[in-house]
Amino acid sequence: MTSHSLPAGHSAPAGHSAPAAHQAPADHSAPGGHSAPAGGFDALMAEVLAGSGGRFGHRQHVQLTWLAVRRYGMPAAIGLVSDGIRRTARYAGAPQKYHETISRAWVELIAHHATAGHGTVGHATARHATAQPAGGDAGFAAFAAGNPLLLDKRLLTRFYRPATLASPAARAGWVEPDRAPFPWVSHS
């Protein structure tokens, strides 16, 4: 997850230093009836930027994803965050920066910890999590303090080999971890 900036010749919306991505698809439906509204990514982005002084690095990606999971549940958050990052990369003139496996893996990891009360409930609960109040900046600060590994951009290398993440298949679609299973995967 990298920092975003506006392409030359574009200006940010009033009060923001990153692009408000183009209008989101009307619905990010998910099993269980959870969905994110049109513009949901843009609203989450604005909320995160307001609390970060306009900076949007890895910590802000984690916060945006945490907000999406808490508000809409994991399945809808995967679509919302992935579509938002894809649109933002395209808007910035760098559509090749979008990576499907990395985007989804981060949402799943954050959802596992966000809905698990810092890891105490299984991923099945995260997969069908109901929308909850977001918890604001203080809620995210507590979440981040309780899950410091999520703030390490290299965390996915515990689960994926670098060559796997660099592959065209992983960039274009979902690829399962090939180094170690995610923590919610049963070892039966």
pLDDT tens digits for 51-110?
A: 888 888 999 999 999 999 999 999 999 999 999 999 999 999 999 999 999 999 999 999
In the chain, DSSP assigns E strands to none
Over residues 131-147, the mean pLDDT reads: 75
Instruction: Measure the CA–CA gap between 156 and 5, rounded to whole angstroms.
Output: 24
Instruction: Measure the CA–CA gap between 4 and 29, rounded to whole angstroms.
Output: 27
Reading the block at residue 164, the tokens are 């796997």
Reading the block at residue 130, the tokens are 């109901």
Our CA dihedral for 80, 85, 88, 90, rounded to 10 degrees, sits at -110
Whole-model pTM: value is 0.71
Contact criterion met (CB below 8 Å) for 107 and 78:
yes
Percent of the chain with pLDDT over 90: 53
In angstroms, what is the C-alpha Rg of the chain? 16
Instruction: Measure the CA–CA gap between 90 and 47, rounded to whole angstroms.
Output: 21
Over residues 40-44, the mean pLDDT reads: 85
